[in-house]
Amino acid sequence: MSTVIIDYNQKRERTELILKRINTLAPIPKILQEVLQLLNNINTSPHLLSKAISKDQSVVLKILTIANSPFYGLTKKVSSIEFAIMILGYDEIRNVVSALSLMESLKNKSDQYMDQKNFWMHSYVTATIAKKLALDMGLEKSGEAFIAALLHDLGISIIHRFMHTDFVSICDLVSSGASYYDAELQVIGMTHGEIGEILLKYWNIPDLIGEIVCNHHNPKLSERLPVLTSVVHLADYMTQQLRVGEFNWDDGLELNDHIFSALNIKDLAELGKFIDSYKEPLLAQIESLRYLA
Ligand SMILES: [Fe+2]
Ligand SMILES: [Fe+2]
């Protein structure tokens, strides 16, 4: 038994060392650095900010899609970054640019083990559902729910890109019957949620986002944000149940009981109806997202 614990600790330490190195291998993206600097200056105009953001067209395209998503709750058509900044506000833009540029900079090539397009779809669909759920429930931090959900599986992307041999070992264990959770602990000594939290801390993303990311499979463990973490957990579960933005790593994702009390849902039957009510609007917007991946 003690050998198992030592082994686990050693693997964990090894993973922590690799993550420290990733911090230098994948420094904070230039566009993000520039945007954060501009946002620190209270005199920065939306025009100047939009010029900085416009240097990265893939981020621009994604911000506009997000701003125009029916799940984001805006009624006007947003056709320019400047307009998006005015409507979403500086705080929200900071969060969206942070999340998108991190996703972009950590992107890896697709291979037989991970399809980047599916990963993006899964992250984006989970984020839009989380945002919509938070708005419908009248929660204050719906912007944080969106960002945390967009980044919730970032750790998987990190394992795939920077610890590829471990990624393959995890997949092999899963194909021989292990759960992803057990396989991650066995191979790298920590979960993808923990990896996400550690890296977000390095990149100075607000620690509340990190807390949600870390606990998205077990919202009960979130000390400060059990409700928002439950929202992200449920959104993750819904993408699997509704078969939109499917992602292998979440196959067989177990619903954590804590969401019933945290989100005031009576039982499984009520949850089923609740999930079904989101199906149509979700499917309607999925098509428009495919070209973004
Ligand atoms: Fe996950
Ligand atoms: Fe997920």
What DSSP string describes 8-23? HHHHHHHHHHHHHHHH
d(CA 195, CA 48): 34
d(CA 35, CA 27): 15
Ligand at shortest distance from the CA of 234:
2
pLDDT at res. 106: 78
Cα(153) to ligand 2 centroid in Å equals: 5
Task: Report the share of the chain in percent with pLDDT over 70.
Answer: 92
For the cut 70, the answer to whether the pLDDT of residue 119 exceeds it is yes
* Burial label, 23 (beta-carbon count in 10 A; 0-12, 13-18, 19+): middle
For the cut 70, the answer to whether the pLDDT of residue 159 exceeds it is yes
> Mean pLDDT, the chain, as a whole number?
85
Cα(79) to ligand 2 centroid in Å equals: 30
* Mean pLDDT within 218-234: 93
**Between 159 and 40, the higher pLDDT residue:** 159
For the cut 70, the answer to whether the pLDDT of residue 259 exceeds it is yes
pLDDT in tens, 61-108: 888 877 777 666 667 788 889 888 888 888 888 878 888 877 777 778
Task: Please list all protein residues whose beta carbon sits less than 5 angstroms from ligand 1, which is an ion.
Answer: 153
pLDDT at res. 196: 94
pLDDT at res. 288: 59
Cα(192) to ligand 1 centroid in Å equals: 7
Indicate the domain borders of the chain.
Answer: 119-292
Ligand at shortest distance from the CA of 124:
2
Q: pLDDT band at 289, cuts 50/70/90?
A: low
**Between 156 and 279, the higher pLDDT residue:** 156
Q: pLDDT band at 155, cuts 50/70/90?
A: very high
Comparing CA positions, the residue from 248, 227, 159 lying closest to residue 196 is 159
Q: pLDDT band at 278, cuts 50/70/90?
A: confident
pLDDT at res. 240: 85
Which range has the worst mean pLDDT, 22-26, 145-149, 182-186, 188-192?
22-26
State which amino acid sits at residue 287.
E
Q: pLDDT band at 246, cuts 50/70/90?
A: low
Cα(77) to ligand 1 centroid in Å equals: 32
Cα(3) to ligand 2 centroid in Å equals: 32
For the cut 60, the answer to whether the pLDDT of residue 210 exceeds it is yes
Cα(123) to ligand 2 centroid in Å equals: 7
Task: Report the share of the chain in percent with pLDDT over 90.
Answer: 30
CB 217 within 8 A of CB 181: yes
Q: pLDDT band at 5, cuts 50/70/90?
A: low
Cα(47) to ligand 2 centroid in Å equals: 35
Q: How many CB atoms lie within 10 A of CB 160?
A: 26
pLDDT at res. 101: 79
Q: Which CATH class is domain 119-292?
A: mainly alpha
Cα(147) to ligand 2 centroid in Å equals: 13
Cα(4) to ligand 2 centroid in Å equals: 28
Ligand at shortest distance from the CA of 237:
2
